[in-house]
């Protein structure tokens, strides 16, 4: 069992509140990813869980035990650091066994556990080397191995892939997913890379400014962001945001006149909106089609196009000066300065009121806390 | 016309020669001292100086003749190793505390330590002299060890601090998560990683204590006098003992020269208080 | 802000309070902080003692008439000692000599240091040995360098300089009699050029080669590179050299003690030596203390700048 419960957690550092009251439940075997822009408090939150920072207010429970004030080593957690934090003066074998040696675990048992971790991570040929003599990916594996040998209740990962090159990052991401399956462990993973968050997580926690913006499965966050911040943070290329004003608001439809020209009607709950309110329409690049200029009331000027092979990302400018990204087919042949029309798929449109809150879609899961 | 390659080679040759000449000029006094130490007293005083002479080991073999060389050398050894030992015992915990338990006062404390180094020794010469007299520390090795520990402590704390600062916090936190106690964290992780830096700190402290010549001249007379004081005693014009002086000086400087050569790069950090690395 | 409600997997958390609770720091962490303080305090305490007690005594002594030759009679005399010290002919001479000594050694060692550091920055045959030879004088103990210069090099009869002078048909100079202060400056410069070389040589190694390459492509010759790239890069290390040398040069003692003993007259007496002679040769503790405090004030003016500079460096790294 490894259920982690966080209640009203606060952290003040030199007069600045970094964690502003966090409530979170993490269930056994879950792979939870904390994601957010830099400075959002995600690493601090992880370090509070690990016991590396002292809590200013609130409580942390692991199963039935309160661990808020407990020494890090007694919490039954293991952490993989961004910099790997391998002991440079010890061999890989010693790095792996250090925690067990400190706990005075029986020699034979240590050897068995190290051997098992080495097998899982394919580190056997490297056991006698020092970290200096390892590649980035190998160091990463040793760092994970050091966590594995301890059989912790929860694995903590602090941006573990950020020091690897792109190809290795993809490979290690897959290995981590496999490891999660194989160990069937609870994992908490911090990253600023939303692709890692989307691909690895059972549950994503989006943090911003020391608060939780939204918690949910990757697809929930993608399809039903609760506010403009989450909508903009999840998904690449970024969601396009177009300013407009409400022209009509009813229980299940809202009409919006965009500053860049066209007027659209969206199937959304319009309660709380009234005509004249400032709103923002959000549409993901993959939910906009490019067409001939005459075929749409929404006309834009083509800026730069990036051909990725399967897709083409078109950066376009509206007549009111907003820039947005549109995903076109790979053989799209527009040129700089062309006028094109856009056909947004309004079923996938999001509407945010002036405070950034998303208007709920009919039939969407309850969003209220 | 010279080709680009030839000009470059010529320039390297010229600059190299110039560098050698400058280096030889700066090194000459040391070289001359070493040469003189192998001359007879008569040859040492010869005018014009003899460049070619029959070397003799006489000065080294009878190094104890004019003065009790080994007595002074032993004092130097005891005082520099003693003060280095105590200095490290004080500096390592202090640097650890400041590097890893940083508080709002840490920076101020560091700079304050540095500022004690700025205190000119003459400003406290009189009271120290009188205090030493009062407590019977004048002309004792204990007294010198105390003084040297204190005057080198700021540099040692700074140096160790900069080395500790370079050790990623993550590694210590990993050790903490692995269940290491504070003592295990220091002895099994921190010190092994920092051993290179600690070694150069020890060397710098040894060099500074060995060569210190204000307090040793003022606070010792004979029984605790180190080599600096022995050499100074040759300044009195009675008799001409230049060859012996050179032999004594060569022996007094040799170990420190070697230490200095070995650790030149790391010493920069200590000598510049971490400002240049 | 809304949070997706999740099934709370824990039933035991019934008393989880809401509202910010300020709690005591974790015991282990608080203990860590106490350990930190305990480890720091021996150093701080001993340095504090080392600084405060003697300084306080110096202040006290400087305000009384106190001569070791006439014990028992120690009346409070206010600033009389300062008056005597400052109007003593030795003070003017000592202050000027100190100034000359510091300024000329600084100028010589910095200029030579920069040139040598640049000279040995390009690879050539035996560069390692050259570097070792260049920095060696710094590791020679002050009394040794003073005596080697006095007896083996500058001696008017059998010194090497005298031999060179004779070689060119000139009359050998009796350095310590004719140019006593210059002789001291030569000795001290010889000791401190290597310090400047050592620091600047190391600083040169962090000079970005690409910067020089870029400048070369921009058409800069060796002089322009030195002027616009090397010198600015060395500005901070040079400042460090100047500050640290100043601290040490203000207190030059052993070189004077072993060669001239401050003479002839006051010709090579600097403030440090003057105070020493007043205290331990004339036993006038009161006046020596007043002088000592004046020396402290002078050093502090120099130190203030250095501490500020290194302090800024400390913030840079943080």
pLDDT tens for C11-37 read 333 333 333 444 444 444 555 667 778
B26 and B9 share one domain: yes
> Which member of B173, B184, B192 has the closest CB to residue A102?
B184
Q: For each of chain B's 277 residues, which pLDDT tens digit applies?
A: 667 788 888 888 888 899 999 999 999 999 988 888 888 777 777 766 777 777 778 778 777 777 788 888 899 999 999 999 999 999 999 998 888 887 878 888 888 887 777 777 887 888 888 888 889 888 888 989 999 999 889 889 988 998 898 888 889 888 988 888 888 888 889 999 988 889 888 988 898 898 888 888 888 888 888 888 888 887 766 556 788 888 888 888 888 888 888 888 778 877 777 667 6
Q: Would the pLDDT of A175 be above 50?
A: yes
A214 and A247 share one domain: no
User: How many other CB atoms are found less than 10 A from the CB of residue C228?
Assistant: 14
A313 touches chain C (CB under 8 A): no
Residues of A in contact with B163 (CB under 8 A): none
Domain boundary among A210, A231, A252: A231
Put the strands of the sheet holding A254-258 in their side by side order.
A263-266, A254-258, A240-249, A278-283, A350-352
pLDDT of the residue at C12: 31
Average pLDDT, integer, range C150-169: 82
Mutate one of A88, A94, A163 to test the B interface: name it (highest B CB count within 10 A).
Answer: A88
Domain boundary among A231, A250, A271: A231
Please indicate whether, in this complex, the C-beta atoms of A73 and B180 are within 8 angstroms of each other.
yes
pLDDT of the residue at C5: 33
Domain boundary among B27, B44, B60: B60
C288 to chain B, closest Cα gap in Å = 7
Two tokens, residue C122: 């390009």
- ∠ CA(A310), CA(A312), CA(A316), 5° rounding? 165
The H or E element spanning position A147 is helix A136-148
B218 and B116 share one domain: yes
B84 and B54 share one domain: no
A172 and A201 share one domain: yes
In a domain, A212, yes or no: yes
In a domain, C11, yes or no: no
C39 touches chain A (CB under 8 A): no
Residues in Cβ contact with B265 at an 8 Å cutoff, skipping those fewer than 6 apart: C202
Residues of C in contact with A15 (CB under 8 A): none
Q: Would the pLDDT of A225 be above 70?
A: yes
In this structure, are residues A234 and A64 in contact, taking their beta carbons and an 8 Å threshold?
A: no
Residues of C in contact with B32 (CB under 8 A): 148, 152-153, 160
SS3 B202: helix
Q: Would the pLDDT of C8 be above 70?
A: no
pLDDT of the residue at A203: 93
pTM over 0.80: no
Residue bearing tokens 């092979």: A309
Domains in chain B, number: 2
In a domain, C35, yes or no: no
Alpha carbons C292 and A172: distance in angstroms, whole number: 67
A174 and A109 share one domain: yes
Please indicate whether, in this complex, the C-beta atoms of B184 and A77 are within 8 angstroms of each other.
no
Average pLDDT, integer, range C228-247: 83
Please indicate whether, in this complex, the C-beta atoms of A71 and C6 are within 8 angstroms of each other.
no
Q: Mean pLDDT across chain A, nearest whole number?
A: 88
> Which member of C2, C12, C19 has the closest CB to residue A369?
C2
Domains in chain C, number: 1
A104 touches chain B (CB under 8 A): no
Domain CATH for C310:
1.10.3720.10
Half-sphere exposure for A137 (CA within 13 Å, toward CB): 15
B51 and B73 share one domain: no
In a domain, C45, yes or no: no
Q: Which domain holds residue B50?
A: 4-60
The H or E element spanning position A231 is helix A228-233
pLDDT of the residue at A31: 93
In a domain, B276, yes or no: no
Q: How many CB pairs under 8 A join A and B?
A: 58
pLDDT of the residue at A205: 93
Residues in Cβ contact with C315 at an 8 Å cutoff, skipping those fewer than 6 apart: B107
In a domain, A248, yes or no: yes
Nearest chain B residue to A52, by CA: B173
Q: Would the pLDDT of A359 be above 70?
A: yes
Residues of B in contact with C272 (CB under 8 A): 120-122, 214
- ∠ CA(C132), CA(C137), CA(C141), 5° rounding? 130
B234 and B105 share one domain: yes
In a domain, C265, yes or no: yes
In a domain, A361, yes or no: no
Which among A22, C288, C110 is positioned nearest to B127, based on CA atoms? C288
B55 and B77 share one domain: no
Residues of C in contact with B44 (CB under 8 A): 158
B98 and B203 share one domain: yes
B196 and B84 share one domain: yes
Residues of A in contact with C25 (CB under 8 A): 54
A183 and A248 share one domain: no
Q: Would the pLDDT of A265 be above 80?
A: yes
User: Please, where are the H alpha helices in A34-128?
Assistant: 42-50, 92-102, 107-121
Q: Which of the other chains make 3 or more beta carbon contacts under 8 angstroms with chain C?
A: A, B
A49 and A113 share one domain: yes
Domain CATH for A191:
3.40.50.300
Mutate one of B43, B118, B154 to test the C interface: name it (highest C CB count within 10 A).
Answer: B118
Which among A168, A181, A208, A216 is positioned nearest to A192, based on CA atoms? A208
Q: pLDDT tens digit string along A309-332? A: 888 999 999 988 888 899 988 888
In a domain, A56, yes or no: yes
Q: Which of the other chains make 3 or more beta carbon contacts under 8 angstroms with chain A?
A: B, C
Q: pLDDT tens digit string along C140-149? A: 988 888 888 8
B166 touches chain A (CB under 8 A): no
A4-13 and A57-62 strand pairing: antiparallel
Q: Find which of A82-96, C243-257, C279-293 is predicted with most confidence, using mean pLDDT.
A: A82-96
Residues of C in contact with B110 (CB under 8 A): 314
Q: Which of the other chains make 3 or more beta carbon contacts under 8 angstroms with chain B?
A: A, C
Mutate one of C243, C299, C314 to test the B interface: name it (highest B CB count within 10 A).
Answer: C314
A214 touches chain C (CB under 8 A): yes
> Which member of C5, C27, C29 has the closest CB to residue A369?
C5
Q: Which domain holds residue A72?
A: 4-231
B10 and B107 share one domain: no
Nearest chain A residue to B180, by CA: A102
């Amino acid at each position: 069992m490894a259920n982690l419960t966080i209640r009203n957690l606060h952290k003040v550092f030199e007069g600045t509140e970094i964690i502003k009251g966090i409530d979170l439940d993490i269930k056994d075997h879950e792979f939870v990813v904390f994601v957010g822009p830099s400075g959002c408090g995600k690493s601090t939150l992880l370090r509070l869980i690990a016991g590396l920072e002292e809590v200013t207010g609130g409580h942390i429970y692991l199963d039935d035990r309160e661990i808020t004030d407990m020494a890090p080593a007694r919490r039954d957690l293991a952490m993989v650091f961004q910099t790997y934090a391998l002991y440079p003066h010890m061999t890989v074998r010693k790095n792996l066994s250090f925690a067990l040696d400190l706990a005075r675990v029986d020699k034979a048992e240590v050897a068995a556990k190290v051997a098992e971790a080495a097998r899982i991570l394919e580190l056997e040929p490297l056991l006698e080397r020092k970290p200096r003599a390892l590649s980035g990916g190998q160091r990463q594996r040793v760092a994970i191995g050091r966590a594995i040998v301890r059989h912790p209740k929860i694995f903590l990962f602090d941006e573990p892939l950020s020091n690897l090159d792109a190809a290795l990052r993809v490979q290690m991401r897959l290995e981590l997913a496999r490891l999660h399956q194989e160990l069937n462990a609870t994992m908490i993973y911090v990253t600023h890379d939303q692709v890692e968050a989307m691909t690895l997580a059972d549950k994503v926690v989006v943090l911003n400014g020391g608060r939780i913006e939204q918690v949910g499965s990757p697809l929930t966050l993608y399809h039903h962001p609760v506010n403009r911040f989450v909508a903009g943070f999840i998904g690449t290329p970024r969601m396009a945001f177009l300013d407009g004003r409400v022209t009509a608001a009813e229980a299940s439809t809202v009409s919006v006149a965009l500053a860049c020209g066209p007027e659209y009607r969206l199937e959304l709950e319009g309660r709380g909106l009234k005509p004249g309110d400032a709103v923002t329409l959000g549409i993901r690049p993959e939910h906009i089609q490019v067409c001939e200029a005459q075929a749409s009331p929404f006309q834009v000027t083509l800026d730069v196009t990036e051909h990725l092979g399967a897709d083409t990302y078109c950066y376009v400018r509206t007549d009111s000066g907003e820039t947005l990204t549109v995903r076109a087919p790979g053989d799209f042949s527009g040129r700089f300065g062309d006028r094109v029309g856009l056909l947004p798929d309004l079923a996938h449109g999001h509407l945010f009121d002036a405070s950034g809150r998303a208007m709920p879609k009919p039939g969407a899961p309850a969003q209220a806390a | 016309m010279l080709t680009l390659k030839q000009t470059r080679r010529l320039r390297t040759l010229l600059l190299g020669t110039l560098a050698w000449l400058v280096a030889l000029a700066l090194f000459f006094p040391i070289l001359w001292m070493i040469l003189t130490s192998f001359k007879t007293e008569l040859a040492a005083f010869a005018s014009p100086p003899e460049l070619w002479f029959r070397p003799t080991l006489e000065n080294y073999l009878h190094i104890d003749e004019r003065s009790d060389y080994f007595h002074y050398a032993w004092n130097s050894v005891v005082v520099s190793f003693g003060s280095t030992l105590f200095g490290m015992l004080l500096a390592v915990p202090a640097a650890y505390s400041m590097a890893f338990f940083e508080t709002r006062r840490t920076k101020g404390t560091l700079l304050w330590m540095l500022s004690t180094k700025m205190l000119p020794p003459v400003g406290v010469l009189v009271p120290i002299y009188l205090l030493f007299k009062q407590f019977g520390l004048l002309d004792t090795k204990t007294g010198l060890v105390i003084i040297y520990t204190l005057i080198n402590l700021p540099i040692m704390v700074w140096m160790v601090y900069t080395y500790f600062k370079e050790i990623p916090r993550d590694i210590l936190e990993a050790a903490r998560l692995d269940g290491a106690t504070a003592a295990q964290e220091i002895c099994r992780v921190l010190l092994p990683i920092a051993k290179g830096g600690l070694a150069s700190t020890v060397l710098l402290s040894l060099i500074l204590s060995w060569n210190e010549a204000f307090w040793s001249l003022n606070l010792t007379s004979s029984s605790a006098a180190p080599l600096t004081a022995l050499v100074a005693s040759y300044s009195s014009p009675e008799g001409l003992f230049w060859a012996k002086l050179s032999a004594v000086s060569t022996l007094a400087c040799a170990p420190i020269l070697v230490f200095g050569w070995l650790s030149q790069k790391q010493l920069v950090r200590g000598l510049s208080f971490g400002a240049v690395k | 802000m809304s949070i997706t409600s999740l099934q709370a997997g824990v039933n035991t958390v019934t008393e989880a309070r809401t509202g910010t609770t300020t709690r005591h720091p974790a015991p282990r962490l608080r203990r860590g902080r106490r350990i930190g303080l305990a480890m720091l305090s021996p150093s701080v305490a001993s340095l504090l003692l080392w600084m405060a007690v003697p300084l306080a005594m110096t202040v006290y002594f400087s305000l009384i008439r106190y001569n070791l030759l006439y014990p028992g009679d120690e009346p409070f005399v206010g600033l009389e000692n300062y008056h005597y010290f400052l109007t003593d002919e030795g003070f003017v001479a000592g202050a000027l000599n100190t100034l000359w000594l510091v300024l000329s050694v600084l100028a010589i060692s910095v200029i030579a240091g920069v040139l040598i550091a640049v000279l040995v920055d390009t690879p050539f045959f035996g560069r390692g040995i050259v570097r070792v030879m260049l920095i060696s004088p710094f590791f020679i103990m002050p009394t040794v360098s003073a005596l080697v210069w006095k007896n083996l090099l500058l001696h008017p009869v059998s010194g090497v300089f005298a031999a060179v002078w004779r070689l060119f048909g000139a009359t050998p100079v009796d350095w310590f009699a004719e140019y006593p202060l210059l002789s001291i400056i030569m000795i001290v410069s010889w000791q401190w050029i290597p310090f400047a070389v050592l620091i600047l040589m190391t600083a040169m190694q962090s000079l970005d080669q690409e910067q020089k390459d870029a400048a070369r492509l921009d058409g800069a010759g060796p002089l322009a590179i030195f002027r616009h790239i090397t010198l600015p890069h060395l500005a901070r290390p040079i400042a460090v050299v100047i500050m640290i040398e100043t601290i040490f040069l203000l207190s030059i003692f052993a070189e004077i003690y072993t060669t001239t003993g401050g003479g002839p007259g006051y010709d090579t007496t600097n403030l440090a030596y003057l105070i020493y002679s007043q205290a331990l040769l004339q036993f006038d503790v009161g006046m020596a203390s007043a002088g000592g405090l004046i020396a402290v004030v002078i050093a502090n003016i120099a130190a203030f700048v250095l501490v500020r500079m290194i302090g800024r460096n400390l913030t840079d790294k943080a």
